[in-house]
Structure 1
Amino acid sequence: MKNYQAIYVDGRWRTPRQKTVLEVENPATQEVMGTVPLSSAGDVAEAVRAARRGFDTWSRTPVTERLGYLSRLRDALTARHEELAHTIVAEVGAPISFARTVQAGAPLALVTSYLDLLPEFDFTERLGGSEVIKEPLGVVGAITPWNYPLFQAVAKVVPALAAGCTVVLKPAEAAPLSAYLLAEALVDAGLPRGVFNLVPGSGRGAGEALVTHPGVDVISFTGSTRTGRRVAELASGTVKRVVSELGGKSPSIVLPDADLPHAVAATVASAFANSGQTCTAWTRLLVHTSQYDEAVDLAAKTADNCVVGDPMSEQTTMGPLISHEQRQRVRSYIAEGMSDGARLVTGGPEAPTGLDTGYYVQPTVFADVRPDMSIARQEIFGPVLCILPYTDEEDAVRIANDSIYGLSGAVWSAAPERAAAIARRIHAGQIQINGTQIDLLAPFGGCKQSGNGRELGRYGLEEFLQTKAVHA
């Protein structure tokens, strides 16, 4: 059990104003595995005031000094790597191997990327007779999701600090414990008072108080499109900058000349990673009609090889969903797909055999999916893959773009230039060709109802800067 009783405000751990606590459930055992306090609007206001005071000094701290703090943060996170992995397994249900490499490992790589980037970043430039200065915006309100709790926190906190901003972090209610370990690491790094503040709480309580506070200059939000609309609406009252990364329904287009087995296996892996609770998951597999039946068989076999079970087992490849509510949501979409006429190839709404405890869902593959079906249009956020046929490249692009979302996608072809031509036509913020790994220095974000703004690398840093022209 991890029972936290304090919030972190103005460089110290202190008792929140109210006594209410939030219980954190282990989704594999359905047992309470930790508690955190629920911050009130007053706690948030105090954190924002502390961040505002801290900004006056932190914004003028030389880049070399900020680099020193971030370097010590990386060391502190490295020392906590195994504890972070185990904590995320317990609060999210991610398999331990995935937690080590992705959930706890990727944040370390992200910190390193900013340590490499920051010394080379130009905060000033000359344009004619004028000087253009990029200055820190101010206080950042960071609101993070539960599916990748540490990575998303680091992706907001680190570039904000690197830019010279101060931060108030509100982690997700379902998975707030890794944020405490991040806070402890930042304390070890020796950050000055007020530069980082942690206020766990509910979305309607602490979250809305943070979004509406006039002392907050930027809101960086990752979560559902529905909540993102609410955040944008509330933030507009004080004309804050809002950086949002929201939902997705990403296509994976397999061209006829591609390595079909490899493309299908990689798409299934993407759709089922983190139990399908990944905004960038390739959940729509688009295959040419001539290869459709073969692709369906390959996807079914790959799905059937998933090992669903105890996330602490090294053999497990898929753990539970985050909560009872999320499991019910996914099950309802599976049932809806079946009633709409999609062909259930493998999986289904029933619990996996022998897993009556825990919020488990079977890895599910649907074939004969029409683009107008709900399962092809809505972000399910569970291990559900839809396979759709296309007749030619124009048809594939049309189906891929027929979505309110535009976050991610993939194109597969033996001719990379052919794949790149298709990638340019897909309305999304990020496309991977033939499974190429994501570069942490490249911009990440979406278009349409997948959000706006960018994270990672130089683009993520610039979201926390404002541009000033000095004419002399």
Structure 2
Amino acid sequence: MNFHQLYIDGAWVPAGGTADLPVTDSFSEAVFAHYRAASPADVDAAVRAAQRAFDGWSATPLAQRIDAVRRVAGALQERSGAIGAVISREVGMPAKLAARIQVAAPIAAWTMYADLAADVEWLRRVGHSLVQQLPVGVVGCITPWNYPLHQITGKVAPALLAGCTVVLKPSELAPSSAFLLAEAIDQAGLPPGVFNLVHGTGPEVGEALVRHPGIDMVSFTGSTAAGRRIAAQAGSDVKRVSLELGGKSAALLLPGADLAAAVKATLAGCFLNAGQTCSATTRLLVPRADMPAVTELLRTGLAAWRMGDPADAATRLGPLISKAQQRKVLSLIEAAVAEGAEALTPQAAPPPTGFFVPPTVLLGVTPGMAIAREEVFGPVLAVIGYDGVDEAVAIANGTDYGLAGSVWAATARQALAVARRLRTGQLDINGAPFNPAAPFGGFKRSGLGRENGRYGIEEFIEPMAIQLPADYFDAPEEYHA
């Protein structure tokens, strides 16, 4: 496959950049696609197209914007097989999981956002004022590689429903689903300029998008380091920013918890997508009295995580996205062992090809170790013992992040009492499932703002207060007009 075109102003146009960037199969390690990067002139053309389209799209009745988003969902469904295949090759997630998590869930989210848009309080009375919610303007969306369509959906769908126009720059490591989304949007018949797609790397194309004076808001998901740089660049022009960044989420086991259920769920939360998940539960906090039993459960649980070809239905753990990511994760494991941690891994060796890191449990981790504080983005679980609940809460809160986590206790009421002491954006109690309509985002260096559900739409609107004369609300209808 060769993606040498960009989608700008409702048309496919040749990319004007000089870089020809490869897309690598994370299992075979072979290049299976190329795409051409955008030039600065391409970025400028995309932003200007979004600016021209903004007045018309923002004035389009909400019901029509909702219908348009539903049409996009339908066009994506027609491409679901192709989307799942390329994401599995790029990212390495096993195909059966990719079909459900990387494809079906984001397509359903397009419909969910359309359903929820009418629930937003677009206009309300506050005393003698009307408060109207207006779209923020032209949004630059920069998305990561780990859940490519999901992260794009969490920005583009609510922004369009809010009445914003969009310029999207997807990850250079996993760009294929964005190309297929642009095809779906073209098929859905959105007005020219409402959605625009540019390809390229962050330092070149991403930064050109952030710095462009025509961008009113930047919505970014990625590393904390990149998020800080984007925030600084956007701040120089006082642009609005939404940042969904890193995490070091803790699974906190309280005395009396169901240890078997907690260990199984924590391993799943840590190893899903080979650990390439910002909200992964990468720390397991265990009462010291329960440490022997938990250790045996971890040893047994590791054996279930079979590494292999993502196309094989028996595979539970695929490769990482790249050789560079593989090297980074392996180096963090080596450093943790050098600091005194004990590494548990399955006996089975990884396949001969693919950017694999075996699922790894690190015992004997202390809160001050780098592995207990730094985001790994690989299948690595750090196990930390504690003596009392206050200590456990301090350990859970004792990182620069606050994105997600879980609490396990004998009862949900006991777990909730501790959960309310944690500084994190979302928590699961005793294995409660993920809720795509609930807000998703973090505290501290995990970011700014919230995505998902109605909260995701509200990220892209601004309130305008209109003060009215005292007799306005008692006036005849013709005066209201």
Q: TM-score under structure 2 normalisation?
A: 0.96
Instruction: Go from structure 1 to structure 2 and tell me whether the alpha carbon gap of 1:338 and 1:354 turns closer, same or farther (over 3 Å shift).
Output: closer
Written as runs of structure 1 = structure 2, the 5 A alignment for 1:164-175 is 164-175=163-174
* Distance of 1:241 and 1:299 partners within structure 2: 44
When residues 455 and 134 of structure 1 are mapped into structure 2, their CA distance, relative to the original with a 3 A threshold, is same
Deviation at 1:121, TM superposition (A): 2.0
**Map of 2:14 onto structure 1:** 15
In the alignment, which residue of structure 1 is the partner of 2:256?
257
Question: Cα distance, 1:120 vs. partner?
Answer: 2.4
Confirm whether residue 406 of structure 1 aligns to residue 402 of structure 2: yes
Distance 1:356 1:367 in 2: 27
Aligned residue in 1 for 2:448: 452
Paired letter, 2:307: V
Instruction: Kindly provide the amino acid, as one letter, of the partner of residue 367 in structure 1.
Output: L
Deviations 1:282-310 (A, max 9, x none): 00001111111111111121112211010
| 1:379 corresponds to | 375
Q: How many residues align?
A: 468
Structure 2 equivalent of residue 434 of structure 1: 430
Q: Which residue pairs with 1:363 in the alignment?
A: 359
* 1:200-248: CA deviation from partner (whole Å, max 9, x where unpaired): 1010111000111110011000000011111111111111111000000
Aligned counterpart, 2:392: 396
- 1:371 is displaced (CA, Å) by 0.4
- Residue type matched to 1:402 in 2? G
Cα distance in 1 for residues equivalent to 2:220 and 2:57:
23
Query: Given the alignment of the two structures, is residue 268 of structure 1 paired with residue 267 of structure 2, yes or no?
Result: yes
Indicate whether 1:234 and 2:233 are aligned: yes
Q: Deviations over 1:30-89 (max 9, x none)?
A: 101111110112111110000000101000000110111011111111111111111101
1:18-33 aligned within 5 A: 18-33=17-32
Q: Which residue in the other structure is 1:3 paired with?
A: 2
Alignment correspondent of 1:211? 210
Q: Secondary structure at the match of 1:59?
A: helix
Contact 1:296–1:387 at 8 Å: present in 2 too?
no
Match of 1:420 in 2: 416
Partner of 1:471: 467
Moved more, 72-81 or 171-180: 72-81
User: What SS is found at the alignment partner of 1:238?
Assistant: coil
Looking at structure 1, the residues matched to 95 and 447 of structure 2 have their Cα atoms a distance apart, in angstroms, of 30
Distance 1:299 1:273 in 2: 16
**Matched residue type, 1:217:** D
Provide the residue aligned with 1:191 in structure 2: 190
Report the secondary structure of 2:308's partner residue: coil
Q: Which amino acid aligns with 2:397?
A: N
**Does the residue aligned with 1:302 lie in a helix, a strand or coil?**
helix
| Equivalent residue number for residue 36 of structure 1 | 35
Task: Verify the 8 A CA contact 2:350 2:357 in the aligned structure 1.
Answer: no
Cα deviation, residue 354, structure 1: 5.4
The answer on whether the counterparts of 2:50 and 2:165 sit within 8 Å (CA) in structure 1 is yes
- Name the % identity: 48
Amino acid aligned to 1:319? G
Which whole-Å CA distance do the structure 1 matches of 2:204 and 2:63 have between them?
A: 37
Deviations 1:252-298, CA, capped at 9 Å, x for gaps? 00112211101001000110000000000000001111111111111
Residues 110-149 of structure 1 show CA distances to partners (whole Å, capped at 9, x for unaligned) of 1121121112222100001100010001000000000000
Q: 3-state SS of the aligned residue for 1:256?
A: coil
Contact 1:143 1:171 in 2 (8 A): yes
Match of residue 63 from structure 1: 62
Q: What secondary structure sits across from 1:467 in the alignment?
A: strand
**1:311 partner SS:** coil
How far 1:414 moved relative to its partner? 2.2
In the alignment, the residues of structure 1 paired with residue 297 and residue 409 of structure 2 have an alpha-carbon distance, to the nearest angstrom, of: 17
Q: Which residue of structure 1 aligns with residue 128 of structure 2?
A: 129
Would you say the 8 A contact 1:176–1:200 is kept in 2? yes
Name the aligned partner's letter for residue 97 of structure 1: K
Deviations 1:399-439 (A, max 9, x none): 10010000000001121111111111111011111111121
**Which residue number in structure 1 is paired with residue 471 of structure 2?**
none
Maintained 8 Å contact 1:304/1:363: no
Q: Distance in 2 between matches of 1:43 and 1:428?
A: 39
Q: 1:146 to 1:124 in 2, by over 3 A?
A: same
Q: Tell whether the 8 Å contact from 2:6 to 2:13 is kept in structure 1 after alignment.
A: yes
In structure 2, list runs of 5 or more residues that go unmatched.
469-481
Q: Deviations over 1:346-386 (max 9, x none)?
A: 259xxx62522110111000111100011111101000001
CA-CA distance at 1:17 after TM superposition: 1.7
Secondary structure of 1:365's partner?
strand
Which residues in structure 2 correspond to 1:343-354 (within 5 Å)?
343-346=342-345, 353=349
Structure of larger gyration radius: 2
Q: Distance in 2 between matches of 1:25 and 1:83?
A: 16
Q: Does 1:302 align with 2:298?
A: no
For residues 215 and 272 of structure 2, what CA distance do their matches in structure 1 show? Answer: 34
- Secondary structure in 1 matching 2:284: strand
Cα distance between partner residues in 2 of 1:387 and 1:265: 14
Is the aligned partner of 1:117 residue 2:113? Answer: no
| AA in 1 matched with 2:445 | Q
Contact conserved, 1:347 with 1:365, CA < 8 A, in 2? no
Residue range with higher mean Cα deviation, 460-469 or 11-20? 11-20
Query: How do 1:79-94 and structure 2 match up within 5 A?
Result: 79-94=78-93
Cα distance in 2 for partners of 1:353, 1:420 equals: 40
Which whole-Å deviations, capped at 9, do the CAs of 1:430-460 have from their partners, x for residues lacking one?
A: 1111111121111100010101100011211
Instruction: State how far apart, in whole Å, the 2-side matches of 1:90 and 1:222 are.
Output: 21
SS at match of 2:420: helix
Aligned-partner Cα distance in 2 for 1:304–1:235 = 46
Please tell me the residue identity of whatever aligns with 2:187.
D
Q: Following the alignment from structure 1 to structure 2, what is the Cα–Cα distance between the partners of residues 355 and 345? A: 18
Does structure 1 conserve the Cα–Cα contact (< 8 Å) formed by 2:139 and 2:218? yes
Q: Distance in 1 between matches of 2:16 and 2:2?
A: 17
**Corresponding residue for residue 101 of structure 1:** 100
* Kept after mapping to 2: 8 A contact 1:74/1:112: yes
Q: Is the 8 A contact 2:283 2:381 kept in 1?
A: yes
Aligned to 1:45: 44
Q: Is the 8 A contact 2:18 2:39 kept in 1?
A: no
